[in-house]
Amino acid sequence: MGALYALGVAVYAARVPERWFPGRFDLVGHSHQLFHLLVVAGAYAHYLGALEYLKWRDAVKC
């Protein structure tokens, strides 16, 4: 999850892919959109991890 957040920030900061292909990613696929996709994927991974933790917490009794 943290890797997805970090990758999103790195893509946005590096302005990839519009840096490599100027004018080609003006509407779709630019770094800001990729940043949002990666952050949402990281949040979803966080959500799934929290669900697994809750299942474990209910299964393991003290």
How distant, in Å, are the alpha carbons of 7, 26, 31, 58 from that of 43? 13, 26, 18, 23
User: What is the per-residue burial (b if ≥16 Cβ within 10 Å, else e) of 24-36?
Assistant: ebeeeebbeebbe
Is pLDDT of 62 > 90? no
Residue 32 counted as an annotated binding residue? yes
pLDDT digits (tens, 9 = 90+) for 7-35: 999 999 999 999 999 999 999 999 999 99
For the whole model, what pTM was predicted?
Answer: 0.86
